[in-house]
Structure 1
């Protein structure tokens, strides 16, 4: 009877551990390569006084798991040469619970599959018009925590301060399986007056930045007809 009680206690502890989540050493996670600030994009190298934009992972492949979500970690640093001394995932805090944390998860979004990433564009019908939407990056520092809800907060950054970011990749069971290296340090601008305060991309909840182009039905039909004509002529 005593042995059965011990087994039951061990089983309950194991279940409790799964519910609360295990600490995951970063050295045990798969490493994914990511270019945070492509030199070819002037937009993604833009930084403001309380935010900056990083490149979003377009396609993540792994032989060990199927990426489902991407979670972004932000670290506030004293200077450009300092790296966050992180050894496990429990050291990355949540601003909802620790508002003054210097290392925290800012947000989470669905991972883009490699198949979708190869598509040239996506067209959706909206109010008798074609709406073309292209995600170009993630705006770090796009929210005020008191005005938003959800498990994470992508809080506005402090002016003239150094930051690094790191993407963590989750599988379909919401377990962290991989991460990138920390980005190069980027320093936000120093605000000297109200007119220089950030206004670019304001109000984008969650930090995802998109370019939206509305094309009239007539223009879209003409473009499609032109593509079909070119395709038919190439077959002859």
Structure 2
């Protein structure tokens, strides 16, 4: 009987859902860089947090980032989370106050320095820049998938935490919980939070369409910077 219990414990640890937070590697992330009003923009049912530009570890290869959200009674309250199984899934527990809101691929620090993405089409190109993760971007009844990034409550405090997964989708690291951020209080819900409407999945991007002339200007600027660095 003891062997069965031990086997179950090992299995739960391997799955990444019952790991004590103190046993995970700690990563440092600036959730609101330079107190940016844009990235820390707070609306009544959602807000933005910065996403890690790159993740590096000597213990494992970071593959995905899973974001956890905690609803708080006030700005000084802690989340009370000591292990990963304390974080619920809204698909199974709709009323959970600490839950996983979504998941996205991580970028290694080396790839982050070298990666440039452009889509050139019909004499134009799209320059797409990830602006941040929109916490509170979905209505669970209208979406599918393992997690739900549900719309937040107005005038309520929240914290977020990034959990880092390896290439086997096991949780191996996490950040500290972010500073508490409060959503705005609104009276007219029909006119609220139109700024980032229609951005499914949580990721907010900026898309800039530039003509051929603009593209040539960008190339010239890159060449000038490269030449100046050689000097």
CA distance in 2, matches of 1:14, 1:211: 45
**After the TM superposition, which of the residue ranges 169-178 and 217-226 deviates more from structure 2?**
217-226
1:35 aligns with 2:30: yes
Superposition TM-score, scaled by structure 2 size: 0.88
Q: Tell me what 2:102 maps to.
A: 107
Q: Tell me what 2:165 maps to.
A: 170
Aligned to 2:34, what secondary structure does the other structure show? Answer: coil
Aligned to 2:144, what secondary structure does the other structure show? Answer: coil
Superposition TM-score, scaled by structure 1 size: 0.86
Distance 1:17 1:34, change over 3 A: closer
Assess if the C-alpha contact under 8 Å between 1:39 and 1:45 holds in 2.
no
Q: Tell me what 2:127 maps to.
A: 132
RMSD of aligned alpha carbons: 2.9
Q: Tell me what 1:69 maps to.
A: 64
Give the C-alpha shift of residue 214 in structure 1: 1.1
Assess if the C-alpha contact under 8 Å between 1:121 and 1:134 holds in 2.
no
1:188 aligns with 2:175: no
1:96 aligns with 2:73: no
Where in structure 1 are there 5+ consecutive unaligned residues?
Answer: 1-6
Equivalent residue for 1:216, pick from 205, 208, 211: 211
Q: How many residues align?
A: 230
CA distance in 1, matches of 2:29, 2:16: 26
**Structure with max Cα Rg:** 1
Where in structure 2 are there 5+ consecutive unaligned residues?
Answer: none
Q: Tell me what 1:4 maps to.
A: none
Equivalent residue for 1:116, pick from 81, 96, 111: 111
